[in-house]
Amino acid sequence: MAIIQLPKNIKYGVATAAYQIEGATTEDGRGLSIWDTFAKTPGKVVNGDNGDIACDSYHRYKEDVQLVKDLGCDIYRFSVSWPRILPNGTGEVNQKGLDYYHRLVDELLAQGIEPMCTLYHWDLPQALQDNGGWENRATIDAFVEYAEIMFKEFEGKVSKWITINEPWCVSFLSNYLGVHAPGKQSLQAATTISHHLLVAHGKTVKRYRELGMTGEIGYAPNTTWKEPFSNQQQDIEACQREVGYLIDWFFDPVFLGKYPAYLVDWYKQKGVTLNIEPGDMEVIQEKIDFVGINYYNGNVARYKEGSGLFDCEDLDMGYNRTDINWPIYPEGFYKVLTYVHKRYGNTPIYITENGACYNDDVENNQVKDQGRIDYLKTHLAALQASIASGVPIAGYICWSLLDNYEWAEGYTMRFGLVHMNYRTLERTKKDSYYWYQKVIQNGWYEL
Query: 424: helix, coil or strand?
Result: coil
SS3 at position 300: strand
- The dihedral built from the CA positions of residue 415, 315, 172 and 396, taken in this order, carries a sign that is positive
Q: DSSP label at 31?
A: P
Cα 212–chain centre separation: 26
β partners of residue 13: 75, 397
Smallest gap, in angstroms, from Cβ of residue 443 to ligand JJW? 27
Alpha-helical (H) ranges within 275-389 are 280-284, 330-344, 370-388
* Short-list 351, 445, 446, CA closest to 391: 351
Q: Which is nearer to ligand JJW, 39 or 283 (CB)?
A: 39
* Whole-number Å distance between alpha carbons of 160 and 154: 11
The active-site residue out of 135, 227, 242, 353 is 353
Q: How far is the CB of 327 from ligand JJW (least distance, A)?
A: 13
User: Which lies closer to ligand JJW via its Cβ, residue 166 or residue 227?
Assistant: 166
Least distance from ligand JJW to the Cβ atom of residue 176, Å: 10
Q: How far is the CB of 294 from ligand JJW (least distance, A)?
A: 6
Give the chain's radius of gyration (CA, Å): 21
The pair phi, psi for residue 242, each rounded to 5°, is: -70, -40
184/179 Cα distance (integer angstroms): 8
Residue among 227 and 353 whose Cβ is closer to ligand JJW: 353
Dihedral sign (CA 123, 128, 129, 134): negative
Residue 277 to residues 82, 165, 192, 199, 345, Cα–Cα distance (Å)? 26, 24, 12, 10, 27
Instruction: Give yes or no: 107 in active site.
Output: no
Q: Where are the beta strands (DSSP E) in 7-70?
A: 11-15
CA-to-CA distance for 153 and 351, rounded, in angstroms?
26
CB nearer to ligand JJW: give 4 or 173: 173
CB of 408 to ligand JJW, least distance (A): 7
Contact 19, 33 (CB under 8 A): yes
The secondary structure element, H or E, covering residue 29 is: none
In angstroms, give the least distance from the CB of 224 to ligand JJW: 9
Q: Minimum Å distance from CB 312 to ligand JJW?
A: 13
366 forms beta bridges with 363
- Nearest CB to ligand JJW, comparing residues 223 and 240: 223
Considering beta carbons, is residue 166 or 280 the nearer one to ligand JJW?
A: 166
Cα 134 to Cα 141: distance, rounded to the nearest angstrom: 11
Q: Which residues bind ligand JJW (CB under 6 A)?
A: 17, 20, 166, 169, 173, 177, 179, 222, 294, 296, 353, 399, 406-407
* Nearer of residues 118 and 126 to ligand JJW, judged by Cβ: 118
Taking the least distance from each CB to ligand JJW, the nearer of 122 and 445 is: 122
Partners of 76 in beta bridges: 14, 115
Number of other residues whose CB lies within 10 A of the CB of residue 134: 30
Q: How far is the CB of 165 from ligand JJW (least distance, A)?
A: 6
> Which positions are annotated as active-site residues?
353
